[in-house]
Chain A
């Protein structure tokens, strides 16, 4: 049935629909992400972009349609979603670090409890990932002692500790003070340069322009247009895209 297939695209979505009660939030999405690709999802709030992202690791249950992760259909009730999720790192708008644990334990707990790594190995990997986001000196702090930007970098490191094949970012800088956004985007840029497959919901158009391989504009639960960032952000075809881009420029 469903063996992991590394030659299959990391994410394949077919005719995805999602209802919240009566409200149809996603109205038939067909969408792929290729290995190593960085895709930015943009669109007005309520357009369904976060819901789409959350369907990729089944934090939201799709109402209809299929989501294939490396060829595995996660909408199939027989699929072990927990094991698929270990290959999908996720970064949240509100960081969602575990406040009762130190940074080291935040980075170690899933390695230990999910992957069954020994403490020594988990610690070594945690140290390595923390160095990668430039926060080695914070290893024994509690999350509440860190700035928002530092917390988000720790959250990225925590996801990386699982050695994921792809990363999902749900508005990773929207909860940050403006002066802290840069440090998080820098980490994400390095990750993209290292060839990580990334799906990013964002309002940072400069980041999308510089880092994304593809920009996808969503509105009203459908993909309105997509293409290279220069094209979608500088010369959009659709009026809805133009209107959205004008609106955020004014901000």
Chain B
């Protein structure tokens, strides 16, 4: 058999198998049961408007807070890692490797539960969720620090030298000349980081919540348990996608634009 003929045979037999699987699934699946368990319109309708006004709102709020906190921390870490002072570099490297190496859930649980146990007097505002947000920000900072460092290093050295030769201090040169250019470079990867963070807020389902502080995953999971039905998970999945897909699309466009500008 010729090589091309053999490839054709293989390809068409794979198509055939695929069609058989899909047909078999369609014929033997219990569509009524699937529809009832995952696409129950009545349950879905009952979730509104709370799924948006409470759950999605909380998800976005926790993400924004963790991102803002993480970004400030990440900038400090990035500058420390680029510092000529060795202990700063060691500190930054230790931090970054530690929190990138641990599961985010461990850090969140640690900040939300272990610290309050160890230091009974210490109270971080916002209860367990405030602590969870800080925990998530701590993790996000480790990843974003590397992104920011790469962005700063991507700015040609001559920019810092030109700024310094005009009499700017290191701090002014960084603030007015290097960082504005670095951030332009890293907007796409930082937006990616934001998308990851949105999804990571789902880890907050382990934290104690009141009806008003539930984020999407906890909201969906609690409803699933009380209604004994999978529809709430489908609904929150669609809400997640409604938030993350436009952002992912935006990243792709930004990346294309950055590539074109080079």
Complex CA distance for A158 and B177, rounded to whole angstroms: 14
Question: Could you mark each residue 170-204 of chain A with 1 if its beta carbon is under 8 Å from any beta carbon of chain B, else 0?
Answer: 00000000000000000000000000000000000
A110 touches B181 (CB 8 A): no
B167 touches A92 (CB 8 A): no
Known: A92-B158, A113-B172. A159 touches B166 (CB 8 A): yes
Q: Closest approach, in angstroms, between the C-beta of A33 and any C-beta of chain B?
A: 17
A114 touches B161 (CB 8 A): no
Known: A98-B177, A100-B181, A114-B172. A85 touches B159 (CB 8 A): no
Selected contact of B166 from candidates A94, A99, A100, A158, CB within 8 Å:
A158
| Interface-centre pick from B158, B166, B172 (highest chain A CB count, 10 A) | B166
B159 touches A59 (CB 8 A): no
Q: Closest approach, in angstroms, between the C-beta of B168 and any C-beta of chain A?
A: 6
A110 touches B168 (CB 8 A): yes
Q: Which of B148-171 contact A (CB under 8 A)?
A: 156, 158-159, 161-169
Q: Closest approach, in angstroms, between the C-beta of A61 and any C-beta of chain B?
A: 11
A83 at the interface (CB under 8 A from B): yes
B159 touches A110 (CB 8 A): no
Kindly list chain A residues whose C-beta atoms are within 8 Å of the C-beta of B162: 90, 92, 96-98, 155
| Interface-centre pick from A86, A96, A162 (highest chain B CB count, 10 A) | A96
Q: Closest approach, in angstroms, between the C-beta of B205 and any C-beta of chain A?
A: 42
Kindly list chain B residues whose C-beta atoms are within 8 Å of the C-beta of A86: 166-167
Kindly list chain B residues whose C-beta atoms are within 8 Å of the C-beta of A32: none
B161 touches A96 (CB 8 A): yes
B113 at the interface (CB under 8 A from A): no
A82 touches B180 (CB 8 A): no
A82 touches B158 (CB 8 A): no
B36 at the interface (CB under 8 A from A): no
Complex CA distance for A59 and B177, rounded to whole angstroms: 17
Kindly list chain A residues whose C-beta atoms are within 8 Å of the C-beta of B86: none
Complex CA distance for A83 and B161, rounded to whole angstroms: 15
A113 touches B168 (CB 8 A): yes
B90 at the interface (CB under 8 A from A): no
Q: Closest approach, in angstroms, between the C-beta of A167 and any C-beta of chain B?
A: 11
Q: Which of A130-159 contact B (CB under 8 A)?
A: 155, 158-159
A109 at the interface (CB under 8 A from B): yes
A57 at the interface (CB under 8 A from B): yes
A100 touches B184 (CB 8 A): yes
Complex CA distance for A97 and B177, rounded to whole angstroms: 10
Kindly list chain B residues whose C-beta atoms are within 8 Å of the C-beta of A125: none
B176 at the interface (CB under 8 A from A): yes
A98 touches B168 (CB 8 A): no
Complex CA distance for A98 and B174, rounded to whole angstroms: 12
Selected contact of A99 from candidates B163, B167, B181, CB within 8 Å:
B181
Complex CA distance for A59 and B172, rounded to whole angstroms: 16
The chain B residue with its CB closest to the CB of A158 is B166
A222 at the interface (CB under 8 A from B): no
Selected contact of B176 from candidates A90, A96, A109, A159, CB within 8 Å:
A109
Known: A92-B158, A94-B158, A114-B172. A162 touches B177 (CB 8 A): no
Complex CA distance for A181 and B31, rounded to whole angstroms: 78
A82 touches B168 (CB 8 A): yes
Kindly list chain A residues whose C-beta atoms are within 8 Å of the C-beta of B168: 82, 110, 113-114
A114 touches B181 (CB 8 A): no
Q: Closest approach, in angstroms, between the C-beta of A19 and any C-beta of chain B?
A: 17
Kindly list chain B residues whose C-beta atoms are within 8 Å of the C-beta of A92: 158, 161-162
A232 at the interface (CB under 8 A from B): no
A57 touches B169 (CB 8 A): no
Complex CA distance for A96 and B167, rounded to whole angstroms: 15
Q: Which of B169-193 contact A (CB under 8 A)?
A: 169, 172, 176-177, 180-181, 184
Question: Could you mark each residue 74-114 of chain A with 1 if its beta carbon is under 8 Å from any beta carbon of chain B, else 0?
Answer: 00000000110110111010101111100000000110011
Complex CA distance for A57 and B167, rounded to whole angstroms: 10
Selected contact of A88 from candidates B161, B163, B165, B181, CB within 8 Å:
B165
| Leading 9 A-B pairs by shortest Cβ distance | A86-B167, A96-B162, A110-B166, A90-B165, A96-B158, A114-B167, A85-B167, A82-B167, A94-B158
17 contacts between A and B (CB under 8 A): A59-B161, A82-B164, A82-B167, A82-B168, A83-B167, A86-B167, A96-B156, A98-B163, A98-B181, A100-B180, A100-B181, A100-B184, A110-B166, A113-B176, A158-B166, A159-B165, A159-B166
Residues of A that sit less than 8 Å from B by CB: 57, 59, 82-83, 85-86, 88-90, 92, 94, 96-100, 109-110, 113-115, 155, 158-159, 162
